[in-house]
Chains A and B, each alone.
Chain A
Amino acid sequence: MSYTPLITILILLVIGAVATLTLLFYAHEQGYFDNLKSGAYVIFDDDEPVGEPQDQLFRETEDPSDDLDSHA
């Protein structure tokens, strides 16, 4: 029975684990994991802020007092 395939797989696993841990360590040192939560806010800004549901068409209107009752 040949142990070559098993050894090959184990070596590849070790190499993969080392590469992954190296990458994660580098990312950690660069500060990529310091403030993960902030990423959730990148889809909001002053124009479409947190707390304001966004499902309306963003369009220019000459009348700033749009009647919401006219919406379908």
Chain B
Amino acid sequence: MPDDPSPAVPPDVGDTDTDWRRVVDASTRWPVIAFVVSAVFWLVAGSLLALIASFKFQFPDWWTHQAWLTFGRIRPAHLNTMIYGWISMAGVGVSAWLWARLLKTKLRGQWMLLLSAALWNLGVLVGTVGILAGYSRAIEWVEMPYVAFALIVPAMLLVVVSFIQTLWERHAQHLYISVWYLGAAILWGPFLVIAILLPIYSGIPEATANWWYAHNILGLWITPPGLAAAYYFIPKVIGRPVHSYHLSYLGFWTLALFYNWAGVHHLVGGPAPQWVVTVSIVFSAMMIIPVIVVAVNHHLTVVGHFEKLKYSPTLRFVVFGAMSYTVVSLQGSLQSFRYWQEVTHFTHYTIAHSHLGVYAFATMIAFGAIYYILPRVTDWEWGSKRLVSLHFWTTGLGIGAYFTALTIGGVIQGFQLLDPDVAFLEIVDDTKPWLVVRSVSGTLMTVGHLVFAYLLAQIVMKSGERPEGPTYFHPVPEGTFAHVGGDGSRSVPASSTNPDAS
């Protein structure tokens, strides 16, 4: 690669090495705050919808007289607010900060991102109200009425423009691996949504397209920002580069090549042509390659530094998420096989798996990223280490219990469904204890979300006294995190690494 002729510090940001990050962070302030605050609003709203849906399994006659509160509407409303409201908007907020830092230039198109946030919020609101009012399109993961997507698609395209503008004006010659994931997601996302909204599907092809879309929106829109964040925050917080940068390229390209084919594994045993299903199973198994690559990279970067998880909120949430990515992806590859799906299809096992992906992986990484980013864009700190800790334990234990209960319950349910001697209502009765655990763990996670929302409000509003230092879980032993002064003074000697740095 040719030597970088450009200066280490871009001319459009500060005069010193210490200034440029703060100038870049300041440029991302309002778009990041807009997307993150909006995302957390939808996280809380979606959590309340989830609790209503979950409690209906314990109290099936609860709120059945109001059509908009029935399970058939509440559940898709929960799903859509979480996918398009929480995790998508959190992903955009985190991505905007990341690509400005990694491209080492001010974020471009800030007003476009603010407009995007407004349209996106309006779209999710219209969509959620539409579902609750009975206008669900009855296509899983795309239940919101068309009018909602008429707002969300332009919102996504505005994000694309902002990214491309920032990329065009970049001062970093090398595109770090995270930029590849972010750029790919930014382009794949709108393409997927537009493709599934085309009025060209019906019957079995519609089902096939549905699951091509639903699987890809998870793997090519939600997953890449999560991996991008993990590839940045794990090395950054620990202070060592990614274990194998060569492998990271392999991981990206194999994800890009293999993931797209795997969606039809949601229709194993269904009326889709069997060769289509078999192709999806083959590529679901091939996905083991990028997953192992990412797991090796992240794990071997952290190994030897696990004690830092005791102190750093960012590292704890992000490592939790990264480990969950490995588990959920390997699980996904295995459960695509016909012999496995014979048992687990149409059971609560599938719900456990999907929550392991969207929550334990993507959501926990989003939390960790937000814990790192918000102090830098607000120039404030998180208000309470105890509340941050409460947030971690409620959400971590919550998803752990959720996944465990529904996995066990789902497998039992699956074997019982295959046994003609077991009456259906007996199977329903046997799932009840696991669904109680689901409600309890969902409540725990919702408590965590409310705590996080409170912490977010505190830091955005800069309430209370200006914090004296970073918010760690525990007092940090001397030397664990070397002090770096705002004027560049440091307690350890500086060493020259790479002028093209972010």
A contact residues vs B (CB 8 Å cutoff): 30-32, 34-61, 64, 66, 68-72
On whether the beta carbons of A56 and B470 are closer than 8 Å, the reply is yes
Stretch from B161-169, B231-239, B343-351, B438-446 that touches the partner:
B231-239
B423 proximal to A (CB < 8 A):
no
B492 proximal to A (CB < 8 A):
yes
Number of A-B contacts (CB under 8 A): 168
On whether the beta carbons of A58 and B484 are closer than 8 Å, the reply is yes
On whether the beta carbons of B484 and A47 are closer than 8 Å, the reply is yes
Residues 369 to 385 of chain B near chain A (Cβ within 8 Å) = 372, 375-376, 379, 381, 384-385
Which B residues are CB-close (under 8 A) to A66? 468-469, 483, 485
Minimum Cβ distance to chain A for residue B184 (Å) = 16
B202 proximal to A (CB < 8 A):
no
Task: A71 to B494: give the CA distance in the assembly, Å.
Answer: 23
Task: A41 to B1: give the CA distance in the assembly, Å.
Answer: 14
Stretch from B106-114, B307-315, B393-401, B405-413 that touches the partner:
B307-315
Which B residues are CB-close (under 8 A) to A71? 468-472, 475-476
Minimum Cβ distance to chain A for residue B417 (Å) = 38
On whether the beta carbons of A38 and B174 are closer than 8 Å, the reply is yes
Partner of B499, one of A32, A37, A45, A50: A45
Residues 263 to 321 of chain B near chain A (Cβ within 8 Å) = 305, 308, 311-312, 314-315
Main secondary structure of the interface of B (DSSP, over half): loop
Task: A42 to B177: give the CA distance in the assembly, Å.
Answer: 10
Interface centre among A44, A58, A64, A71 (most CB of B within 10 A): A71
Give the interface residue-count category, chain B: 35 or more
B486 proximal to A (CB < 8 A):
yes
Task: A50 to B312: give the CA distance in the assembly, Å.
Answer: 18
Task: A52 to B21: give the CA distance in the assembly, Å.
Answer: 17
B430 proximal to A (CB < 8 A):
no
Minimum Cβ distance to chain A for residue B104 (Å) = 9
On whether the beta carbons of A43 and B236 are closer than 8 Å, the reply is yes
On whether the beta carbons of B470 and A51 are closer than 8 Å, the reply is no
Interface centre among A30, A37, A45 (most CB of B within 10 A): A45
Mind listing 19 A-B residue pairs with CB under 8 Å? Answer: A38-B498, A40-B235, A40-B242, A40-B248, A41-B241, A42-B500, A43-B501, A49-B494, A50-B495, A52-B490, A53-B312, A53-B480, A54-B236, A56-B483, A66-B468, A66-B469, A66-B483, A71-B470, A72-B473
Minimum Cβ distance to chain B for residue A28 (Å) = 11
On whether the beta carbons of B176 and A42 are closer than 8 Å, the reply is yes
